[in-house]
Amino acid sequence: MTFDISSNLLIGSSPGEINDRLFQWFLEVSKGLFAFPLPWRWTPFGKALEAREKILAYIETAMAERELSPKEDVLTLLMQVKDDRAQGLTASEIKSQTLALLLGSIANTASMLTCTCMALAQNPDILTKARIEQQEIGIEEPLRLEHLKHMTYLEQILKEVERRYPPVGAGFRRVVKPFVFQDYYVPQDWNMMYSIIGTHNDSRIYPEPKRFDPERFSPENIGNKLTDFNLIGFGGGNRNCIGIAFAKTLIKVFASYLIRHYNWELLPKQDLTLNPIPVLCPRSGLKVKLNKL
């Protein structure tokens, strides 16, 4: 679902044969992201490189089509955008930016949606409270932006999903200025890893960090304790996630729809151990039985 939505908004493709092929290539690329960099055709890394070329070739064809007739998608915007010296992006920049957006959007959003379903199934009291909030808002389809603003408890739940189940466990930064941290000297130009999981499990910020508890983010509890750097599922600082507003809206719309229209339970005999790579996800996916309300 996240692939169909993102690829439609980014490169204007619609569900169907081409999307199925694009999705397969996308899966190959994802499998190679953390593989050994052995570039032979039969290794996960080699297959990922090949799939990447196919996606780039597809984007190139889509660009040629937009030269003739622009569409309402991100690819068209990237082709039209100019900086203050009236310079546009090069074709190769447009292709790699589009690929980055596609790769950045799909699996992360799917991971957070999956963990939201899992957490709500495991915490029926929280689900009931969320459902009451939805009923009180009195939504008549179609859902509007105005409705989303009133879903404050759902927002707390989604923040707690971000904290407890961040799709990406860590990120990288280059050291631009040397510094000393707790007696360690860190030289300029080093690569540093900042830990999202470590921050979210720091009991000085979040007592009993393993507990799933949306009340942490209630206005009374979090107050002004929430800084820019203690909830960092989307990164932090100038280079945080560019898709944050899109992802949060998509997840909220999905969660609201699910809560209003379905009950679901986790099927037995599944392994819910979470695999962290390439994005956080239960080892065998998440198997649920859905019942329409």
| Positions that interact with ligand HEM (CB under 6 A) | 100-101, 104-105, 108-109, 112, 167-168, 171, 233-237, 239-243, 246-247
Buried b (16+ CB within 10 A) or exposed e, 83-97: eeeeeebeeeebbeb
Question: Looking at beta carbons only, is 32 or 233 nearer to ligand HEM?
Answer: 233
CA-to-CA distance for 39 and 269, rounded, in angstroms?
38
Question: Looking at beta carbons only, is 28 or 162 nearer to ligand HEM?
Answer: 162
CB of 280 to ligand HEM, least distance (A): 9
CB of 101 to ligand HEM, least distance (A): 5
CB of 115 to ligand HEM, least distance (A): 10
CB of 68 to ligand HEM, least distance (A): 25
CB of 118 to ligand HEM, least distance (A): 15
Which two three-digit tokens encode residue 178?
A: 């040397």
Specify the residue for token string 């999903």: 161
CB of 291 to ligand HEM, least distance (A): 26
Question: Looking at beta carbons only, is 7 or 134 nearer to ligand HEM?
Answer: 7
Question: Looking at beta carbons only, is 112 or 127 nearer to ligand HEM?
Answer: 112
Given the DSSP bridges, would you call strands 288-292 and 262-266 parallel, antiparallel or unpaired?
antiparallel
Question: Looking at beta carbons only, is 27 or 137 nearer to ligand HEM?
Answer: 27
Q: Decide: helix, strand or coil at residue 35.
A: coil
CB of 105 to ligand HEM, least distance (A): 3
Helix, strand, coil shares of the chain, percent, nearest 5, are 50, 10, 35
- First-to-last C-alpha distance (Å) of the chain: 21
Contact status, residue 117 vs residue 288, Cβ threshold 8 Å: yes
Question: Looking at beta carbons only, is 17 or 83 nearer to ligand HEM?
Answer: 83
Question: Looking at beta carbons only, is 35 or 242 nearer to ligand HEM?
Answer: 242
Contact status, residue 66 vs residue 76, Cβ threshold 8 Å: yes
Q: Which of 23, 13, 16, 24 is nearest to 75 (CA)?
A: 13
Contact status, residue 277 vs residue 34, Cβ threshold 8 Å: yes
